[in-house]
Amino acid sequence: MRMVRLAVLAVIAVAVGGAGYVYRDEVAQKLGLATASAAEKGGGASPAASAQPQGRRGRLNPGGPVPVVVTKVAKKPMPIVIEAVGTVQAIASIQIKSRVDSQIMKVNVEEGALVKEGDILFELDARTLKAQLGQIEAQIRKDQAQVVQAKRDVSRYEELLAKNAGTVVNRDTAQTTLKAAEAQLEADEAAKASVQTQITYTVIRAPVSGRIGSIASKVGTVIRVGDNSAASALATINQVDPIYVAFAVPQVFLPEIRAAMAKGEVKVTALIDENRKQAGAIAFIENSVDALTGTVTAKARIGNANEGLWPGQFVKAEIVLGIEPEAISVPAPAIQLGPQGPYLFVVKDGVAELRNVVVKRTQAGESVIGKGLEGGEQVVVDGQLRLVNGANVVMRPSTPEPSSTAAAPPRG
């Protein structure tokens, strides 16, 4: 009885092992790879070995030619672009403060309004200053009268002295009185100019064109010049057209940026989103490199009439240093990463050749090749995962990506 049980278990084990072996072969055949049983029967390499790069070109794939999608490499003009993350900054951000102690009588602007340079924003109480101006003007008229009288006295004493009827002392005293009266007149006229200037401070105008923020002080608020805190500002105006986009780039690009600026205007494009972008040019580069980050800050001046850029906003900045007239570029998916760095597959006479390349930059879905590829060659853009050096390939047309609404294939 015990021998019978052992025989039954042996039959079951063989059946299960055979079924698993057959299933593994079916999966391998669907992937286009050689199966273990085929390798054993034909004496070939195992699937793991066949996946390694082959030293001899033209070796046939154990599973047949690999279907791939290829594209022809052509030389074409490509912009030299540096990408960075920028911060939008107002060219001028001015806090509006009073220059005289007074009370707000009128607010002529709404919060958040767009104002022009010279627009009246606030009107302060100017009655005290106007009264002082009246007093000074009256004093000036008195001084003018005294000057006229002093001039007559000088003239009279000079005539008497000429006739030997007067004294030199009297004449000199009259001249001194005249000079004192003229000095007093000049002092009062200066005081008048000072008060007139202070009166102009009671009408607060926009120093620049821009967008005004929150208005902290309303009508009736008493304001003091001595209050220098940030909260004492009546409002803040940000100049938004044009506007700055500040960004930091690695210091290795500094020589290229400076060389491009020496030749002319260096264009910068701020990408607000996928459909909106605004162009400008580099305005200046910071005069030192940040030792902590190894980057240098630059600012681009960008027109912003539509106010698509807002102070404090983060945007993607593209700096165009020039145009490479005959650049060799391939679709970015063609580039693979290996132990020796980037590589791709070049197809010649139906055979895939693994080629190490030097990628200069990647932009707009294309990688610009600096070394390792020539124009006119065909490179694989889809199907690389099943390729090895020297594998036979068959070209197939590219297929559009399936939509997300497509039905999923049934599970087997």
| Residues 101-144 pLDDT 10s | 999 999 999 999 999 999 999 999 999 999 999 999 999 999 99
Please answer whether residues 90 and 210 qualify as being in contact, where contact means their C-beta atoms are separated by less than 8 angstroms.
yes
Number of domains in the chain: 3
In this structure, the answer to whether residues 291 and 250 fall within a common structural domain is yes
pLDDT for 399 equals 65
Residue 261 lies in a domain: yes
Tell me which of 100 and 401 has the higher pLDDT: 100
Same domain, 129 and 35: no
| pLDDT for 403 | 47
The pairing of strands 66-72 and 393-395 is parallel
Long-range contacts of 287-293 (CB under 8 A, 24+ apart): 289/251, 289/254, 290/248, 293/248
Same domain, 389 and 261: yes
Does some domain include residue 61?
no
| Shared-domain flag, residues 259 and 390 | yes
Q: Is residue 95 part of a domain?
A: no
> Do 278 and 188 fall within a single domain?
no
Q: Could you give the CA distance from residue 96 to residue 140 in angstroms, rounded to a whole number?
A: 34
The verdict on 386 and 245 lying in the same domain is yes
Residue 267's H or E segment, with its range, is: strand 267-271
Same domain, 288 and 231: no
Position 195 scores a pLDDT of 96
363 and 310 belong to one structural domain: yes
In a domain, 225, yes or no: yes
- Expressed as residue numbers, the domain containing 378 is 79-88+239-395
Give me the pLDDT at residue 232, please: 77
Mean pLDDT, residues 290-302 taken together: 95
Q: Is pLDDT above 50 for 245? A: yes
35-44, 227-236, 291-300, 309-318: segment of lowest average pLDDT: 35-44
Q: Are strands 378-382 and 341-348 parallel, antiparallel or unpaired?
A: antiparallel
Which pLDDT value is given to residue 330? Answer: 92
The reported pLDDT for the residue numbered 62 is 60
**pLDDT score at 38:** 36
Question: Are residues 359 and 245 located together in one domain of the fold?
Answer: yes
Rounded distance between C-alpha atoms, residue 57 and residue 348, angstroms: 10
Beta bridge partners of 348: 351
The reported pLDDT for the residue numbered 43 is 36
* pLDDT above 90 (res 205): yes
- Three-state DSSP at 146 gives helix
Confidence band of 166 (pLDDT split at 50, 70, 90): confident
Does the global pTM surpass 0.75? no
CB 381 within 8 A of CB 331: yes
Instruction: Provide the CATH number for the domain around residue 255.
Output: 2.40.30.170
Residue 61 has pLDDT above 80, yes or no: no
3-state secondary structure of 72: strand
Please determine, for residue 47, whether its predicted confidence score (pLDDT) is greater than 80.
no
